[in-house]
Every structure is written in C-alpha cells, then in structure tokens.
Amino acid sequence: MESDAGIIISPVRLSDFDFDLPPELIAQHPAAERGASRLLHVAADGAIVDRMFRDLPGLVSAGDLFVFNDTRVVKARLRGRKDTGGEVEALVERVLADGHALAHVRASKTPKPGRRLVFAPGVEAEVTGRQDDLFALRFHAQGRTVLEVLEAHGEVPLPPYITHGPGPDDESRYQTVYAAVPGAVAAPTAGLHFDEPMLAALAAKGVETARVTLHVGAGTFQPVRGDDIVSHVMHEEWYSIPEATVAAVAKAKARKGRVIAAGTTTLRALESAARPGELRAGAAETRLFIVPGFDFRVVDRLVTNFHLPKSTLLMLVSAFSGVDPIRRAYAHAVDHRYRFFSYGDAMLLDRAAASG
C-alpha cells in the first residue's frame, strides 16, 4: 500500500536498519584519486564480491544506460553575526527568486522576523519569517545574487560526520566532475568516484549516459525519529528530468539494456518522475520515501556509497537489494574495513529479483 507521500506501508521498523560502525571507518578525506576507492558488488541473488571501482566498466554491458545527477554543490554555509552582536551560522537550503532564500540558522537565541544577519561588509540578510524548520531570508548584498554571495563568502557545506573544516581540496573533491546546475547543499556522493577516464571507459564499452538534476538538501542527514518509520516525513527536494533522459531510458529498456543510477538522488528523481505510471519529463518537488516493498519502475542497478545507520538511504538500498542482503553486505564491509559515507567506498547493487 502506497501513501500520498510515496511511502510503502511495510512491516519494518527503524531498529531493522541499525548496525555497529567503528568510528575509524568514517572516511574523513577522499581517496587520493577519484577512482581509487573499493567497490562492493551485491548481485541480484545476494552474492557479495569485493572489487575496486576501476573494475566498473567490466561489470556493465553495451546498451546499458548510466544516469547521473548533475547538481552542483554551492558554498552554502555562511558565518556572521546578528545585528545584536551574537554569532550566527546560516546553511542556505534553497535559493529563491529576487534575493530570497530558505536556510537553517544556528544562533544562541532564535532570530525573530526583522532581525538582520551580517555576513560580510555590505552583505546582510533580513529574517522575514519561518517555513517549518527553515528561516526565510531576504539578502541585501549591493546588487549581487544569493549565489554570488555564497560563492564569495560561503563555505563548502561538509556533512556533520566530517570533523575538519573545508579546505581547498574539499572545494574540488566534494563536487562531481560533471556538476553543472548550482543548487545542492550536499553532494550526490556516489558521483564523486567518477572521473573523466572512467566516463571515457564506460563510453568505450558502449554504455550510454543521461542526466537528471536533483538539488540535494541538508535534510538528507535528517534522522528518522521514532521506530515506526511510516510516520517519518521526508524533506522536500527539487528535481528535473529532461525529455532526452526520458527518451534514453525508453530506448535502453527497448533494447534490454539496464538503467543504472549513479546515486540514490538519481534513483529518487527517476522513480519520483515515474510515479504517475510512466517516466515523465519536467520539474517537480519530491518527498518520495522508499522503504522495503517499494515498486521500482525505472532503475535496474544502483551505484551508491555506504549510508548511516537508521537512515532513509539505508532503507532505500534495503528496498532495492533486499533487507537481508544489505545487512550481510554492511556486516561484510565493516569486517573488511571498507570506508563509509560521503568520502568512503562504493557499492554496485543489482535490484533484487523480487523487487519490481
């Protein structure tokens, strides 16, 4: 049974998605080279094989279609002071029109509407209201757009489990090589493994590629509260599916090629756009929550990183490859010292035979 929010009612609970992760396995820095990470392959029958990411071209076939999320991470974290003098930090979640934005704001006291936040000489934002847990801001920046302000004064918004501040290396490595459309506040991290030689190798194999855009929000790190996961409300994210991608998917399916999503954000965009019954082009907002029992309509294989315990993304991959296979794969990854989360190693997941 599917709810209006895209939740599949299923007899699973939050505690089903917990696992013990030694802190030292949380990758704090990227591998020396993008393609130097390990790759854990989970086959449709649940078999687990240790590989390297550079092996990927040998695991795909001519006629397959790789779909990438071309969102670009913006320097969304701003630090400054309230006009009353207290320190403030703003993480811009979404840039709106005419100098407006929605942001998470941290301060010793919650700023009220009308309060001004000063981030640099000539750069300030007025708090105009609230939208749920986000603050509505109107920027005043001497004619510069919000994106221009972020590029000039913002920081790369590294995830909360990365303990160091952003450096020059993070500005390049916390970004995919094919990033094009600014708007994300978190990277589509499966894409961080791909470099130009890998893309060329896939093309030489006869693999076609297509793009979607989904602007990843800070809500991707939002914890699920309560053991009854059906009550969880997903954060809203904007996505766009080009007509060319719809056509590419249709052609791949017609020639019996596999649609391979580079990352959970790509998968969520494709599956969200297919909820009416068939994949449709256009832009929309999604709160799609994928848990075991979900009917996958587009994606056949998934390249992804390892995800946080009890996270919605761990539920997604469990829906895709099966709860038990993923549980075994994660136990294997811990035992074999794989690197976890955004800067960590990758997985290649085949969709479980009973899934869609």
Separation between Cα atoms, residue 33 and residue 30, nearest integer Å: 8
The domain that holds 113 is classified in CATH as 2.40.10.240
Residues 190, 103 share a domain:
no
Residues 315, 332 share a domain:
yes
Residues 318, 177 share a domain:
yes
Residues 286, 138 share a domain:
no
17 phi and psi angles, rounded to 5 deg: -115, 30
Map residue 2 onto helix, strand or coil. Answer: strand
Separation between Cα atoms, residue 79 and residue 232, nearest integer Å: 31
The total number of residues shown for the chain amounts to: 356
Choosing from 123, 153, 183, the residue where a domain stops is 153
In a domain, 356, yes or no: no
pLDDT tens column, 82-133: 999 999 999 999 999 999 999 999 999 999 999 999 999 999 999 999 998 8
In a domain, 220, yes or no: yes
Residues 289, 267 share a domain:
yes
Residues 321, 177 share a domain:
yes
Separation between Cα atoms, residue 120 and residue 108, nearest integer Å: 20
Count structural domains, the chain: 2
* Structural domain boundaries, residue 238: 14-73+171-350
pLDDT tens column, 157-204: 999 999 999 999 999 999 999 999 999 999 999 999 999 999 999 999
Whether the model clears a pTM of 0.75, i.e. scores above it, the answer is yes
Residues 206, 103 share a domain:
no
Residues 189, 88 share a domain:
no
CB contact set of 24 (below 8 Å; sequence gap of 6+): none
Looking at this protein, which amino acid is placed at residue 10? S
Question: What is the structure's pLDDT at 233?
Answer: 74
Separation between Cα atoms, residue 167 and residue 314, nearest integer Å: 29
Residues 262, 284 share a domain:
yes
Residues 238, 279 share a domain:
yes
pLDDT tens column, 194-247: 999 999 999 999 999 999 999 998 776 676 776 767 767 778 899 999 999 999
Residues 322, 246 share a domain:
yes
Separation between Cα atoms, residue 189 and residue 186, nearest integer Å: 8
CB atoms within 10 A of CB 189: 26
